[in-house]
Amino acid sequence: MTDLERFFERLVRNLAAIDLQRVKQPVPVLDIKASVMPYRTNRRSLGLESSEEYEELLVRLVSQEGGLVSTAPPDVAEWCARQMASLTPDLSGIPGQAAATITVNPQALARVLGSSAAASVAASSDNPGSVSFGPEKCPHCEATLPDNRAVNFCPTCGRSVTLIPCDSCGADLEPGWRFCTNCGQEVSEAGAAPT
């Protein structure tokens, strides 16, 4: 998963946790920065070292890089694309961001969260309680997780369900990684070193 996809996934999960319908609606860029996914409360989960990294990811997202979102008005997306193509991008603020919105691309939603979660979001207006994000059970304590909202931490043991610790060194691993980025140990899906 790329940094931009991780940023996008966190955005979608945060939107769904607030109100599932927001995943399908235009989201003001200012809301992303101020309340949906502020830097200070999301930097650790995104693996960011500085606010500049956050601003760069936001500019990349608004520029429609990777086709994850569509941006309105189009001139805001064009400005962001020009900045990212520049040797010295201006990350101090997106001109017109007060009026700018992004809309999540349904295909990108399926690519990042899986087709079943994307289908659940698409059908959520018919049956709002049927949506499932992420794993069904906690990878640490095996407790059943709520299936009608985005869940980042297990309500039973309090540990992250989006990051799994390497059994060899304890570093955070993302689901699906085959090797630890810290110690290089081969790991299983749940983060345990293979026997």
Q: Note whether residue 100 is domain-resident.
A: yes
> Residue 117: what pLDDT?
61
**Amino acid occupying residue 191:** G
Domain count, the chain: 1
What's the maximum distance between 2 C-alpha atoms anywhere in the chain?
A: 55
Q: Note whether residue 183 is domain-resident.
A: no
Q: Note whether residue 171 is domain-resident.
A: no
156-159: long-range contacts (C-beta < 8 A, 24 or more apart)?
none
> Residue 61: what pLDDT?
96
Q: Note whether residue 90 is domain-resident.
A: yes
167-174: long-range contacts (C-beta < 8 A, 24 or more apart)?
167/191, 167/192, 167/193, 168/193, 174/1
Q: Note whether residue 108 is domain-resident.
A: yes
Which residues are within 8 A (CB) of 195 and not within 5 positions of it... i.e. 6 or more apart? none
Its domain, for residue 56, covers 3-130
pLDDT in tens, 1-30: 789 999 998 998 888 878 777 888 999 999
Task: Tell me how far apart the alpha carbons of residues 56 and 142 are, in angstroms, rounded to a whole number.
Answer: 37
Q: Note whether residue 161 is domain-resident.
A: no
Question: Mean pLDDT over residues 83-111, rounded?
Answer: 87
Nearest to 23 by CA among 153, 94, 117: 117
Q: Note whether residue 69 is domain-resident.
A: yes
Q: Note whether residue 174 is domain-resident.
A: no
pLDDT in tens, 29-39: 999 999 999 99
Task: Tell me how far apart the alpha carbons of residues 189 and 13 are, in angstroms, rounded to a whole number.
Answer: 21
pLDDT in tens, 111-137: 766 666 666 666 655 554 444 455 677
Whether omega before 73 lies within 30 degrees of 0, making that bond cis, reads yes
Between 59 and 140, the more confident residue is 59
- 3-class secondary-structure state, position 136: coil
